């Protein structure tokens, strides 16, 4: 099998260019300290940070835009384009404009509470699922996962022990993802949605990562910034990536692949079913491994490896991994890794 290089980073970050509390240099320092290989800034309705793109020590900074749809009818997380896209347009218009500029886009926090009134926090969900042409959706938004679980009564507990409030992706988000995957390729990403309000950017950057799997190595050199930028966006666009809650354990070393008699592919790729397909999940630590198709578990095992040898139907097959870990005082299987699908045709 081809050797892939695993690069972990953070997506969906806000600075003082919109409603974040820190300036870009401070945020970059936090990403460096948290060991992030890349970070994608996405301030609301602006590309003001675009001129700051580049390598900063071991972190590459890329800049996108979180575009407001209509009158708070959704947010579209877009990246990989150069001209700012105006907010408050219809969903399809926004998606089309991102695509026209050669960018990629993800529906942000598609399902969340519409209001958290006690703290004056707005959480806009996506309303129009008749749109086409978007690349993917946020499967797991760390900030919304955390916020949705606290109240004024448990607020201080949430600040002190945020991990106690983390549930993983919403079931309705996963259900929608599986529904969409029956007809089209849809990339799933994880995001931190960091603003710096309740606790530091560094702490946020140590939680939920989207890992990119690249055949080529990043250079970590400013002279080759454009090449490295292309590699990051290419991996996201192809879905050669997985999201993981690395606060529980570092997921680097995870692999989800498929092979037939001719070749072997990884998450995000396609493979022909005619000569027989074998799916393989490998994890760096023992965990509960699952293969999902159409929202149904077709195989599971508690181990570091799972092979599924009898794939008889075409479709999108994705992997989920649950790690046994404490949440508060309870030891349980917790959401850890969610891969992008392998598309069997």
Report the CATH number that the domain containing residue 265 is assigned in CATH.
Answer: 2.60.40
Looking at the structure, tell me whether residues 92 and 198 fall in a common domain. Answer: yes
3-state secondary structure 323-339: EEEEECCEEEEEEEEEE
| Domain termination residue (choose one: 203, 222, 247) | 247
Q: Which of 244, 206, 216 is nearest to 322 (CA)?
A: 244
Report the CATH number that the domain containing residue 168 is assigned in CATH.
Answer: 3.20.20.140
Whether the pLDDT of residue 225 is over 90: the answer is yes
Cβ within 8 Å of residue 131, ≥6 positions away: 91, 92, 95
296-321 mean pLDDT: 98
Whether the pLDDT of residue 223 is over 60: the answer is yes
Looking at the structure, tell me whether residues 80 and 137 fall in a common domain. Answer: yes
pLDDT for the residue numbered 160 = 84
Please state, in angstroms and as integers, the Cα–Cα distance from residue 18 to each residue in 22, 24, 48, 172, 326, following that order.
Answer: 10, 11, 9, 29, 36
- DSSP 8-state secondary structure symbol assigned to residue 28: H
User: What is the Cα–Cα distance from 248 to 283, expressed in whole angstroms?
Assistant: 14
pLDDT digits (tens, 9 = 90+) for 23-53: 999 999 999 999 999 999 999 999 999 999 9
| Average per-residue pLDDT for the chain | 95
Backbone angles phi, psi at 175, to 5 degrees: -65, -45
Looking at the structure, tell me whether residues 105 and 129 fall in a common domain. Answer: yes
Looking at the structure, tell me whether residues 214 and 91 fall in a common domain. Answer: yes
Looking at the structure, tell me whether residues 80 and 229 fall in a common domain. Answer: yes
pLDDT for the residue numbered 210 = 99
pLDDT digits (tens, 9 = 90+) for 65-101: 999 999 989 999 999 999 999 999 999 999 999 999 9
Percent of the chain whose predicted confidence (pLDDT) is above 90: 87
pLDDT digits (tens, 9 = 90+) for 162-209: 999 899 999 999 999 999 999 999 999 999 999 999 889 999 999 999
Looking at the structure, tell me whether residues 75 and 202 fall in a common domain. Answer: yes
* Count of alpha carbons within 13 angstroms of residue 274, beta-carbon side: 2
Domain that holds residue 213: 5-247
* Total tally of structural domains belonging to the chain: 2
Looking at the structure, tell me whether residues 39 and 162 fall in a common domain. Answer: yes
Looking at the structure, tell me whether residues 125 and 273 fall in a common domain. Answer: no
Looking at the structure, tell me whether residues 136 and 26 fall in a common domain. Answer: yes
pLDDT digits (tens, 9 = 90+) for 270-294: 999 988 999 999 999 999 999 999 9
Looking at the structure, tell me whether residues 269 and 227 fall in a common domain. Answer: no
Name the β-bridge partners of 41: 13, 63
pTM for the full predicted model: 0.96
Q: Which of 268, 285, 269, 279 is nearest to 340 (CA)?
A: 268
- Read off the pLDDT band of 123 (50, 70, 90): low
pLDDT for the residue numbered 72 = 85
Structure token digits, residue 333: 């299987």
| Domain termination residue (choose one: 203, 220, 247) | 247
| Domain termination residue (choose one: 190, 224, 247) | 247
Element (H, E) at 232: helix 225-238
Looking at the structure, tell me whether residues 172 and 48 fall in a common domain. Answer: yes
pLDDT for the residue numbered 14 = 99
- Read off the pLDDT band of 337 (50, 70, 90): very high
pLDDT for the residue numbered 114 = 45
122-137 mean pLDDT: 92
Looking at the structure, tell me whether residues 320 and 260 fall in a common domain. Answer: yes
Whether the pLDDT of residue 119 is over 80: the answer is no
């Amino acid at each position: 099998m081809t050797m892939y290089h695993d690069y972990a980073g953070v997506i969906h970050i806000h600075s003082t260019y919109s409603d974040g509390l820190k300036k870009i240099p401070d945020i970059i320092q936090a990403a460096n300290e948290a060991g992030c290989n890349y970070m994608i800034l996405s301030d609301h309705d602006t590309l003001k940070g675009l001129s700051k793109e580049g390598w900063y020590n071991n972190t590459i900074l890329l800049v996108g835009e979180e575009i407001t749809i209509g009158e708070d009818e959704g947010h579209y997380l877009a990246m990989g384009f150069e001209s700012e896209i105006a907010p408050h347009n219809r969903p399809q218009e926004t998606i089309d404009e991102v695509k026209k500029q050669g960018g990629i886009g993800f529906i942000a926090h598609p399902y969340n509470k519409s209001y958290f009134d006690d703290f004056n926090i707005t959480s806009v969900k996506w309303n129009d699922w008749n749109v086409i042409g978007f690349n993917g959706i946020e499967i797991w938004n760390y900030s919304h996962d955390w916020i949705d679980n606290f109240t004024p009564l448990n607020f201080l507990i949430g600040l002190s022990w945020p991990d106690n409030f983390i549930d993983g992706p919403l079931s309705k988000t996963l259900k929608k993802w599986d529904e969409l995957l029956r007809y089209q390729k849809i990339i799933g990403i994880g995001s931190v949605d960091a603003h710096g309000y309740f606790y530091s950017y560094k702490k946020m950057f140590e939680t939920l990562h989207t890992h990119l799997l690249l055949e080529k190595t990043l250079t970590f050199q400013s002279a080759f910034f454009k090449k490295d930028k292309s590699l990051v966006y290419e991996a996201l666009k192809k879905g050669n990536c997985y999201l993981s809650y690395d606060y529980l354990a570092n997921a680097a070393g995870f692999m989800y692949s498929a092979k037939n008699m001719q070749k072997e592919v990884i998450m995000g790729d396609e493979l022909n079913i005619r000569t027989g397909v074998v799916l393989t999940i490998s994890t760096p630590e023992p965990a509960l491994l699952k293969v999902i198709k159409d929202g149904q578990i077709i195989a599971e095992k508690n181990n570091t490896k799972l092979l599924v040898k009898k794939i008889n139907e075409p479709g999108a097959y994705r992997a989920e991994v649950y790690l046994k870990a404490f949440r508060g005082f309870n030891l349980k299987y917790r959401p850890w890794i969610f891969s992008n699908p392998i598309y069997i045709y």
